Structure 1
Amino acid sequence: MEANVGKTDKMIRIAAGVLLLSLAFVGPKTPWGFIGVVPLVTAFINFCPAYKLLGVNTCGK
């Protein structure tokens, strides 16, 4: 797995993941908030399968 998630993209994914997870615990307490795990995992492993399929790479050389 070659990294395809850059620094800025990683920060946005972490923020979005935390925000979505907060919906499961603090906000309306909906189970849909657990979808926030996906951007968190992709941020921490620096790889996004959707980016691979689309040929996108935000990671610098």
Structure 2
Amino acid sequence: MKVYVLTADTCDENWGSSIELFGVFSTEKKANKRASEMKLDYTTISVMDIDENEEPSYLGGYIE
């Protein structure tokens, strides 16, 4: 089963990153709806397979 993971970088500073999880949804439509309601600038919707992920998924971050 696929799920749609909504994350966003909420850092308002000039430097850095703060990735937050805003929800896990059963359809892409629901994830997109929630993302548009939140009015965030940097959202990402990642598709994940429940119980079948063999590789880790990069959610984001900041490396200097």
User: What is the TM-score normalised by the length of structure 1?
Assistant: 0.28
Structure with the largest fraction of helix:
1
Greater RCO (Cα-Cα under 8 Å, separation 6 or more) = 1
